Amino acid sequence: MDEDSKLSRKTVLRAALAAGVAAPVALIGGPALARTTVAGGQVPELTPACHDGDEPTIEQTEGPYFKPNSPERTDLVTPGTPGTRLTVSGYVFGRACLPISRVLLDFWQADVNGAYDNTGYTFRGHQYTDAQGAFRLSTIVPGLYPGRTRHIHVKVQAPGRPILTTQLYFPNEPRNNTDTIFDARLLMTVRDNGSAKEGAFDFVLNVPQTPTSTSNPPTSNPPTSTPPGGTTWAVGTSYAAGARVTYGGQGYVCLQGHTAQPGWEPPAVPALWRAG
Ligand SMILES: [Fe+2]
């Protein structure tokens, strides 16, 4: 993708979001703030998960505990529910980085003890993105259960489109290194807010949208050069927090230690790398 098309797509997105009265407030007070924390004071990107190739959010296994017919609700917490309060907010975009409204998001997760409610609907609920393509879930940090790292399950479906089944993950979890299902591309950005936590994640669905109908964006942006002062990002390399690399001519700083894998290129995993 050339720079002109990137710019035009961003411009379209900003215009689309600005058209909604609620959008600027949501952007400033919601996920953008969480990203600001990670970005170390940089001006937050409006579309951090949708700015470089627009890779659709990857699919993951549904697992054994999905139940259909969850209640429609954005708040899964009932009075007296134990656990650390967590909000998860973000946007759902299509392939042109335009937000999609009325997208169904069906969440399910374990309770604080790592147990799923398989008889009722505790910690299960579905909701729809609003006119700005935004969603917000109020829940708790799910507990751990044997064999898995901490995660939240979700099904995401734009109107009339196929269902995306995937999972969301938490940064800095020890089991992220041993869970074979874990994928860093699905890491939320998580920050503390008092005793609660605020997670942010933007989904990109494989939904064609008008601005890209005349172009076919590349599926990846491989590095083309190595500016002075940095090593080129490479699969199989172990990076420590603070490590600096270049990728596609852009410099990035590692936010948490990991071993690079295909698909975890810096622009694709904002929870692992920030531009800088
Ligand atoms: Fe699970």
4 alpha carbon – ligand 1 mean position (Å)? 42
Structure tokens at 227: 């500016």
User: Is CATH 3.30.420.480 correct for 3-212?
Assistant: no
145 alpha carbon – ligand 1 mean position (Å)? 8
| Mean pLDDT in residue range 64-82 | 96
64 alpha carbon – ligand 1 mean position (Å)? 8
123 alpha carbon – ligand 1 mean position (Å)? 12
The pLDDT score that the predictor gives to residue 211 is: 65
Phi, psi of 25 (to 5 degrees): -65, -45
**CA-CA distance, 123 to 70, in Å (whole number)?**
9
168 alpha carbon – ligand 1 mean position (Å)? 10
Nearest to 90 by CA among 207, 209, 203: 203
pLDDT band at 154 (very low <50, low <70, confident <90, very high): very high
pLDDT band at 27 (very low <50, low <70, confident <90, very high): very low
* CATH class belonging to 231-275: mainly beta
CB 44 within 8 A of CB 36: yes
**Comparing 254 with 145, which gets the higher pLDDT?**
145
* Segments making up each domain of the chain, as ranges: 3-212, 231-275
- Tokens 């098309």 found at: 5
CB 138 within 8 A of CB 75: yes
| Widest Cα–Cα separation across the chain | 59
pLDDT band at 24 (very low <50, low <70, confident <90, very high): very low
Give me the numbers of helices (H) and strands (E) for the chain, helices first please. 3, 15
H helices of the chain, where? 3-18, 22-29, 31-39
274 alpha carbon – ligand 1 mean position (Å)? 28
- Tokens 């700083």 found at: 253
pLDDT band at 249 (very low <50, low <70, confident <90, very high): confident
176 alpha carbon – ligand 1 mean position (Å)? 14
pLDDT band at 214 (very low <50, low <70, confident <90, very high): very low
| Mean pLDDT in residue range 42-53 | 48
Residue 263: pLDDT over 60: yes
Percent of the chain surpassing pLDDT 70: 73
115 alpha carbon – ligand 1 mean position (Å)? 9
Domains 3-212 and 231-275 share a fold: no
